[in-house]
Every structure is written in structure tokens, then in C-alpha cells.
Structure 1
């Protein structure tokens, strides 16, 4: 899945894949971040000067927000419902967020381990507003890897 020469990897479209099912109607993904703690080691060096050494610590688990237009698809709601009732063995899923090029070919995958829904928010509803309703699903996961 290498990027074609001269392609900057514009996020033309993207989707969420879990259990072999791909949802491509997602309009926004935020929070894709690989991060770790910083552990500070403080000491006096051989010359007596105080110094701080930053070292890599434990990885941090990200929260990823997926936004899509409200539709008849109930996959987000079902997933949230199962997590609220404690069916965590069914709720924790491995999957990926996939970025596609303009021809629909996958160019990058962000693999999520043990992801589950933290919250689901329905956009605000205003009388007379002509914008479409959106739903935002916030996932938490144990780790994220770039494939």
C-alpha cells in the first residue's frame, strides 16, 4: 500500500473496518495519535551539574472520534448498547481505520486493538436548520499501529 509517486496522501475518503464489515460513510476522523509518556530521570552528573534525562515511558491509549451523517445504519448504536450492558467480550474489537486514494484503493491502515465505544453523540437539532444531522462515535482502544 505504498503511496504513488507525487501523491501527498490526501485523505480523499476513509472508512472503519471491524469484523470484516467496512463503513465508508464516515465524514471525519480525529484523534489518530500514537503517543507515549515521558519519564524524567534526574541526576547530578560526574561534574556535579544537575541534569534531566527524558526517556520513553508507557504508550498512551488514544480516543478516536468518528463522525458521519445520521442514517438508518444502527451499527454504532448497537455497539454502544452492548458496551453499556457490560458485554465487553463482544464489544472489544480489533479493526482498522483505512484511508483510500481517489480511485478507492487503500493507501494506509491504522490498526486498532481492543477498541470499544466510549460515547455516541447526536448533533444538535435546531428548528429551521437545513444542515444534516451527524453522529459522533468516540472509540477508546488499547493501542494503535500504522500498517
Structure 2
């Protein structure tokens, strides 16, 4: 999966893998971040100079939004139903967001630890759009405790 030196990648498409099941029709990924708190340490040095040091703190949990065209596949809906009514432990999954190149080869994986769906939205479903030729999409927001890149 490694790219040659000095080469860059274009994300042609994306996939979501959860517990061995891969959904390859993801068209957009947004909000994928790995973040941590910053701790400021203010002190005087031995010569009396006042300094502020910044130290790494606790990692923060994150959220990512995945968008795909609406299909007959109901895996997103099933996952959301599995997490309802406080049943989040069975819905927590080890997931990975996969970036594919134009030939369908995986280029990069972002591993999500203890991921579960926060929300699912189908857009646009508005009365004025019934005759439009636009594509209906599903947006799922997944919350996770930690993100690591493979």
C-alpha cells in the first residue's frame, strides 16, 4: 500500500470496513482527525527567564462523516438500529476508512477504535426536489475513541 517516494495520491474513492465487511461506495469523507489536548506549563528557567512550554495531553475522541449515494444496501440503517436505546456496546466496532486509487487498490487506511454511528441522514428529501434529477445521498456520522493511520 505504500506510495513510491515523492509520489502523491489522489483519493479516487473511499471505503468503510467494519468487522471484515467492506462498503466501497463511499463518495466523500470529512472530519477525519486525530487530536489531543495541549497542556501549557509556565515556569521560570534557572536564569530567571519566564517560559511557556506546550506539552501533549490526552487524546480526544473524534467524529467522521461519510457520504454515499443511496442504494438498496441497508448496512448503515442496521448499524444505527443496533446502537439505539443504550445498546451501544454491541454496536461498537473496529472500523477502517480505506482510500482507493483509480485502479481500486487500497492506498491508505485510517483505523477507528470503538466506532459507532451517531446519526444517519438521507438528503435531499424535500417536496420541491421530487422531480429533480439530483442524486439522493446518505450521510452517516461515526464517532470514535481513537484514530490511527496504517
For the criterion TM > 0.5, the same-fold answer is yes
Alignment of 1:60-75 (within 5 A): 60-75=60-75
**In 2, distance between residues paired with 1:52 and 1:127?**
58
Q: Secondary structure at the match of 1:9?
A: coil
Residues 53-112 of structure 1: CA deviation (Å, up to 9, x unaligned): 100001111101000111111111111111112222210000211111222111211111
Alignment of 1:1-147 (within 5 A): 1-4=1-4, 7-125=7-125, 126-147=129-150
Distance 1:4 1:102, change over 3 A: farther
Q: Give the alignment's TM-score, normalised by structure 1.
A: 0.92
Question: Quick check: 81-90 or 19-28, which moved more?
Answer: 81-90
TM-superposed deviation, 1:5: 5.2
Q: Give the alignment's TM-score, normalised by structure 2.
A: 0.90
For these two proteins, the number of residue pairs brought into alignment is 147
Q: Which runs of 4+ in 1 moved over 3 A?
A: 4-7
TM-superposed deviation, 1:19: 1.5
**In 2, distance between residues paired with 1:122 and 1:13?**
20
Distance 1:5 1:102, change over 3 A: farther
Unaligned runs of 5+ in 1: none
